[in-house]
Structure 1
Amino acid sequence: MGENCSLILDGKMKGKLNMARDWAMFDVMDGSSEPSPILRIYSWIEPTVSIGLFQKKRHLQRVNFEFVSSTDIPFVKRPTGGRAVLHDLEISYSVVFPYRFFENKSVKSTSFKIAKALRRALERIGIPSEINTANERYDETLCYISTALNEIKVEGKKLIANAQRKGKKVILQHGSIPLKLDLDLYTKIFARDESERQKLKYIMESKTVSLWDLDPHVSEKNLIEAIIMGFEEIFGLNMVETELDEEIVNLEMKIVDNLEYRDWRVCHHEHIDLR
């Protein structure tokens, strides 16, 4: 029997709450004298764009601000790096794991072991996949038009996007498994005219894939069960479904309203002080 891991099954939530919860889990565990592992699985109540922690307004030149303003699509800041992702019909995961679960503290080592768990999850639902072995650099705005080291590809196309943050004692990694990609919405958000939209749609069709493109019969329930088992097997964990610790909930409530952009012309929230 392996070490117990807290399993948080959240369902659909607003984007700023999803990111505040991941951030609070990371911050509390990194400050703990005895950090313990957490696996959280969740989804999004409405289409939402998450922005990497270090992305500035100059990195978001693709964004069609007029369309975003007219549709009230939320943009939220992630606690991790990386580029912009549209979250819609997908299953997301986050893990906060102490470094003792990894060979070393490097991004390469930690992300590779997590990738093995995700690959095992896909195997369980009958989808063969590969772990990407190098960083592709293509665009400073969008995540899904290039594949980073140790992200998951199927038939040469990106399926699972990940982002990570390292602490003193733990790492946070979260990622997206799209059930279906709404390329029309993607291109309306991240292209300013019809020519740009067509070009972006072509690039995404050639570089990305969704789960239901591969197998439309996989249910959300089956995918969630497979993710849980993948992490149990690769990390030797015993998943215990539980409620969030009160300290995590309190911090989450403290920071949640700081994670949403409200004025795209100013982009106030370039830096967020958790304390």
Structure 2
Amino acid sequence: MTPWRLIPLLNAPGSVQMAIDRWLLQQHRQGKQPPILRFYTWEPAAISLGYHQRRYPDFWKNLTWEDKKLEIVRRPTGGRAVLHQGDLTYAIIASGFSKTKTLAYEQICTFLLQGWRSLGVELHYGTSGRGYIRHPSCFSTATAADLVTKESYKLIGSAQLRQGTALLQHGSMRLSPNLELFERVFGEPIQAVQFPFSHKDAIPLIVETLTQAARHCFAAEFTTQPLSEAEWEAIRENQ
């Protein structure tokens, strides 16, 4: 078994979440952190842009949700824009995966496939090519880095950043998006999806199930450890 750190579910602004992921990747690369798994949600709702995504509609700057302005945040990873509302994000910071990007995705996504299968949801990889670059929304197409249901609902969109042998892969799991807000942001409709479990306790159930799947897939021995005050201070300094 390999020692891993499990950071408990954290709800925070998107700018904070991205700063955490960047800092943890730097720390892991320097050998100061073991492999890490964490789950988080975004408050307030936000739109995250891929690292290289420079163009987006001007009206996004003035969007609100539940009387709060939607944050626009840049991810350290690639891909297109993601609306973070009604979703759950996972992040893995680790080393030892394939040097080939596609194979590394497949190695990491194994725990997502297995975990969601345990929840009664069969997923498979998307098949779209690089046509995704013409769409502002990450969820408009499903590439080989994405996981979709048998009804072609794109449930998980993932992105990756590699620094040396260390990598960060994080992804949004689209659980209960507001259909009107999604259409307002991206100008296209989104279908609703029904899961074979109650929405009431969905996030704790999903987190626990995916953690168990990660334990099996990565031969991980998890130690649950929240971010310390010293770590929060270092993250704020690098934000």
Within-5 A mapping of 1:1-275:
2-32=1-31, 36-56=34-54, 59-61=55-57, 63-65=58-60, 67-68=62-63, 72-98=69-95, 100=96, 102=97, 104-133=98-127, 135=129, 137-138=131-132, 139-155=134-150, 156-190=152-186, 197=187, 200-201=188-189, 204-205=190-191, 210=193, 213-217=194-198, 219-244=202-227, 248-256=231-239
Maintained 8 Å contact 1:136/1:147 = no
> Which digits, 9 at most, give the CA deviation of each residue in 1:184-240, with x for residues without a partner?
1122223xxxxxx3xx11xx33xxx65xx2335252111011110111111111111
Please, what TM-score do these two structures have when normalized by structure 1? Answer: 0.77
Indicate the larger mover: 215-224 or 144-153. Answer: 215-224
Cα shift at 1:54: 0.9
Cα shift at 1:89: 1.6
Q: Which runs of 4+ in 1 moved over 4 A?
A: 245-248
Maintained 8 Å contact 1:24/1:249 = no
Structure 2: 5+ residue runs without aligned partners? Answer: none
| RMSD of aligned Cα (Å) | 2.2
Count of residue pairs the alignment pairs up = 233
Q: Residues of 1 paired with 2:143 and 2:34: CA distance?
A: 27
The change in CA–CA distance for 1:253 and 1:26 in structure 2 (over 3 A counts) is same
Q: Which amino acid aligns with 1:43?
A: T
Q: Percent identity?
A: 23
Q: Which amino acid aligns with 2:238?
A: I
Q: Residues of 1 paired with 2:212 and 2:231: CA distance?
A: 25
Maintained 8 Å contact 2:44/2:68 = no
Q: Residues of 1 paired with 2:14 and 2:153: CA distance?
A: 26
Structure whose residues are more often strand by fraction: 2
Please, what TM-score do these two structures have when normalized by structure 2? Answer: 0.88
* Corresponding residue for residue 194 of structure 1: none
Structure 1: 5+ residue runs without aligned partners? Answer: 191-196, 257-275
Maintained 8 Å contact 1:119/1:129 = yes
Q: Residues of 1 paired with 2:168 and 2:43: CA distance?
A: 22
Larger Rg: 1
Q: Residues of 1 paired with 2:68 and 2:119: CA distance?
A: 36
Maintained 8 Å contact 2:46/2:72 = yes
The change in CA–CA distance for 1:37 and 1:140 in structure 2 (over 3 A counts) is same
